[in-house]
Amino acid sequence: MENRVALVTGASRGIGRAIALRLAEMGIRVGVNYVHQEQAAQEVVAEIQRAGGVVTAVQADVRSPIEVRAMIERVEAVLGGVDILVNNAGITRDGFLARMSEQDWQDVLDTNLSGAFHCTKAVLRGMMRRRWGRIVNISSVAGLAGNAGQCNYAAAKAGLIGFTRSLAREVGSRNITVNAIAPGFIETDLTADLAEEWKQQALALTPIGRFGVPDEVAAMVGFLVSDEAAAYITGQVISVDGGLGMR
């Protein structure tokens, strides 16, 4: 994978950070996208460089197609054409629908769903021209089963699943795979703020009996982008949730 280039959105912390580190370990050159957390992004860059990896940090708000295009141009100028895209950037604005503002609804859809659209569209032509690509969309167990207080988040993550399966049908003939990962409760900044009561309820519903860690999601991304393991896997939604979403 040494000649491959990856872009990971929302890679300054949490799951995105773990994914960037994992791909770098595989010898992939990595673009680390961030919006506000420049220092955290530079820490990721420094860690990859200490291990001998090739990496650059790129600032962009994925809600903006103009910023996204500029980000892709920067990554391509420094690292080369983007072969692997991980659409990980996401936010939450939780609240029951009856009290949810239109802004909170739109912000989540714009970042978590439209952001994936902007980034994917910006790299897709190059992948098609090179006849190789790997796109991994980070969805959520909430996108599969819903979650009270997260109508906006669940709608966006469910939309990513439909996006994944539709795009997989469009580009499979060009040797481009498109898959989604649906994490359950993973130990990140987003879950750290959950009320203790909610955490205990989540643990009670998770057969493995613990929260996951970002490295476990990152390992699945590494599997899905590899030629040897996953070249014949596309249009799939793989849960990394400790059994939380079992039916």
Residues annotated catalytic, as ranges:
153
52: region left, alpha or beta (phi > 0 left; psi from -120 to 50 alpha): left
Under 8 Å CB-to-CB from 36, ≥6 apart: which residues? none
Q: What is each CA distance from 140 to 77, 143, 164, 175, 240, in whole angstroms?
A: 33, 5, 13, 26, 9
CB atoms within 10 A of CB 131: 10
